[in-house]
Amino acid sequence: MQSDELEQWLLSLPLGEPVEIDGESVYLSLAGGGAELGLILLPQPSEAQVAEAMRTGFQSALDYEAGLALSADEGDLLLNRWMPDAEAWSDVGEALEDLLSQASLWRAVAAGGNEQAEDVQRDEARMRRAVIGD
């Protein structure tokens, strides 16, 4: 897709409601001074899924700028990022690519089983010790 075509396609996407991009449900919601760019990781997750997401989410937050949240309305598990001064999809193209990459990594780790989860927990514990100073 040419750069102009890509920009026109991004400008055609609705604001404030989920759209499907690369098999993921993503949204851009405008607010004062910017926009929230987000992706629905899990619709209405169980408590166990949320707990696992929080464990794996720590490592992911070290590499990317988006974080995990639960939507207030439906309780969906979200991966989201604040975009200062963003007014349209065309303002968040690079961040959208990063968000999709982060979601892909998150899904791979979540599906990877205990060995990868243990590696993430060790990394998380090491980072916490570094932050605390132990």
pLDDT value at residue 113: 53
Residue 1 counted as domain residue: no
On whether residue 2 sits in a domain, the answer given is no
Amino acid making up residue 45: P
Q: Is residue 36 part of a domain?
A: yes
pLDDT in tens, 44-61: 999 988 888 887 766 666
Q: What pLDDT score was predicted for residue 114? A: 47
Task: Give 10-residue mean pLDDT values along the chain (134 residues).
Answer: 77 91 94 95 90 74 81 91 95 92 82 57 60 55
Instruction: Name the phi and psi angles at 131, rounded to 5.
Output: -70, -40
Per the domain annotation, does 8 fall within a domain?
no
Quick one: pLDDT at residue 70?
92
Q: Residue 33: inside a domain, yes or no?
A: yes
pLDDT at 125 (0 to 100) = 60
Confirm whether 3 is domain-assigned. no
User: pLDDT at position 60, please?
Assistant: 66
- Amino acid, res. 79: L
Flag whether 7 is in a domain.
no
CATH number assigned to the domain comprising residue 52 = 3.30.1460.10
Residue 83 lies in domain: 13-132
Name the percent of the chain lying above pLDDT 90: 43
Rounded to two decimals, the pTM is: 0.75
d(C-alpha 55, C-alpha 94), whole Å: 26
Does 5 map to a domain?
no
The pLDDT of residue 99 is 93
Tally of structural domains, the chain: 1
Name the β-bridge partners of 29.
Answer: 36
How many C-beta atoms surround the C-beta of residue 132 within 10 A?
7
